[in-house]
Structure 1
Amino acid sequence: MSRIVFGLIGVVVALFPDGVIESYEAIALENPEECSAKPWLAPAVRAEGVLYVLATLAGGRAYGWLLNVAGVAGLVAAVAPKQYLDAGASLAYDRPEEVNWNEGFVTGVRVLGFALVVLAARALGKRRRA
């Protein structure tokens, strides 16, 4: 099931990176109109979507690698969501110090991080049993 979800997310992200970024900013930021993304952000988001699709189609080790990376990112997000988001802002925005996160979004990132850790751990357990 998670493979289908990752694949569908990848398709949406690859086809509509600008819309994904706009939706993310509308949900995540208190001040999206004051934040200017770096010019390479949309192509990088598209590439991430393509990577998700390729890994889910390939399955096996490629998909396992994707889940491992998601689990590590999830662990960081679960333990330190504000720092995780701030690190992303420093990579993605021209003036990261002006990025203000919605408080509820920070909590949501923590919950999503825990969910990714659980998903990755379950998948690792299944791969080891096989």
Structure 2
Amino acid sequence: MLRKLLIAFGCYEIAKPQPVIDACERIGLENPDDAQLRPRALWGARLEGLLFVWVLVRGREGSTLVSTLLGAAGLALLAVPRPFIDLSQRLVYENADDLELKPWVKPAARALGALYLLVVVLSTRGDESTAASEDATATA
């Protein structure tokens, strides 16, 4: 169920990245109305959604490179979130220096790292749980 929910979120982020970015700005910025997105920011959000969907749908058959990169990003966000917060601010916003971060941005970045790791774990277990549920449905 969680896997399907994350796939749905990834599809939504691919199709409509602006509401996702707006929500993240409200969560993480003291002055979200001052944020000036770079044009490529929407494509970055779409790429994140695509990676989620790719890894979760393909499971073990998917690219180990993509899973490894997503897992490494998750571990890095958990361990040292500040450099990644600064980098993402510079990549996403024209006026990164003018934006004021809320105090819980570091814990939120760590939570995002944990989410990335959850996606990787669910993708590796997805084939087994899908096969088990199909077997249970077939015997019922």
Which has the higher Rg, Structure 1 or Structure 2?
Answer: 2
- Sequence identity of aligned pairs in percent? 24
Normalised by the size of structure 2, how large is the TM-score?
0.71
Which structure 1 segments of 5+ residues have no match? none
The residue type equivalent to 1:9 in the other structure is F
Between the aligned partners of 2:64 and 2:6, the Cα distance in structure 1 is: 12
Match of 2:69 in 1: 69
Gaps of 5+ in 2: 127-140
Is 2:46 the partner of 1:46?
A: yes
Deviates more, 1:60-69 or 1:17-26: 60-69
Does the 8 Å CA contact 1:52/1:66 hold for their aligned counterparts?
no
How far 1:2 moved relative to its partner?
Answer: 5.8
Task: Confirm or deny: 8 A CA contact 1:64 1:123 kept in the other structure.
Answer: no
- Cα deviation, residue 54, structure 1: 3.3
CA–CA separation in structure 2 for the residues paired with 1:63 and 1:86? 28
Q: Does the 8 A contact of 2:60 with 2:124 survive in 1?
A: no
TM-score of the superposition, structure 1-length normalised?
A: 0.75
| Structure 1 residue runs of 4 or more that deviate by more than 6 Å after TM superposition | 121-126
Pick closer, same or farther for the CA change 1:44–1:117 going to 2, 3 Å. closer
User: Superposition RMSD on alpha carbons, in Å?
Assistant: 3.0
